[in-house]
Amino acid sequence: MSETEQPQIYLITPPEFELSTFPDRLAGVLDSRAIACVRLALASQDEDRIARAADACRTVCYDRDVALVIETHLRMVERLGLDGVHLTGVRGLRDARKALGEDAIVGAFCGASRHDGMAAGETGADYVAFGPVAETGLGDGTVAPQDLFAWWSEMIEVPVVAEGGLTPEVVAALAPVTDFFGIREIWPAEDPAAALAALMVAAG
């Protein structure tokens, strides 16, 4: 990434949200500044619930020409008219690309593993996400360090996403060495658009 470019914003939905209110909250954020992509990342495995959430988010995103991908649920992408899928790890990437075609977005979350990230890029991932980038109290405590992003941005052409544990301080530190910030931290705020602006002001 050029040092003069600010990383783009990749919004990640909460793991659970109210269909009656979240689309308006999402619209407010999308209307507040340029957003590259939205990831539907529901914790639910209820396909009806996921489909209704996808329908609501798709309308908001597509009215604003913003791509919408879904986490994990590859076989729902085409049925729901989405732009692609976000997978965890390298497994399934090749099948996802074959199933969805070259025009779809296929991304991979690779934790803090440089090896998995490189494998994902070689398998055809459109982007690789590393994280969390700061301690979150979740998982096993592993954090994707800044030097991983610095190395990646210098050596690898595949775009990289920093996500998990984002704070203004972390954003400021990673802004020169990441292409995207995967942002989910803003949703608990009363005004998510204002929370996003406060978070991203540190990016320069």
**Pairing label, strands 37-40, 67-71:** parallel
**Considering the domain boundaries, does residue 117 fall inside one?**
no
**Considering the domain boundaries, does residue 89 fall inside one?**
no
Q: How many domains does the chain have?
A: 1
> CB within 8 A of 2, min separation 6: which ones?
none
Domain housing 165? 8-81+127-203
> CB within 8 A of 103, min separation 6: which ones?
none
**Is the CB of residue 110 less than 8 Å from the CB of residue 89?**
yes
Radius of gyration of the chain (CA): 16
pLDDT band at 202 (very low <50, low <70, confident <90, very high): confident
**Considering the domain boundaries, does residue 91 fall inside one?**
no
**Considering the domain boundaries, does residue 196 fall inside one?**
yes
pTM of full prediction above 0.85: yes
Sign of CA pseudo-dihedral 172, 190, 187, 63: negative
**Is the CB of residue 94 less than 8 Å from the CB of residue 124?**
yes
CA–CA distance, 41 with 6 (Å, rounded to integer): 25
CA–CA distance, 87 with 199 (Å, rounded to integer): 26
**Considering the domain boundaries, does residue 2 fall inside one?**
no
**Is the CB of residue 108 less than 8 Å from the CB of residue 93?**
yes
At 58-100, the pLDDT tens digits run 999 999 999 999 999 999 999 999 999 999 999 999 999 999 9
**Considering the domain boundaries, does residue 3 fall inside one?**
no
- pLDDT at 4 exceeding the cut of 60: no
- pLDDT at 3 exceeding the cut of 60: no
**Considering the domain boundaries, does residue 59 fall inside one?**
yes
Q: What is the CATH number of the domain that holds 184?
A: 3.20.20.70
**Considering the domain boundaries, does residue 113 fall inside one?**
no
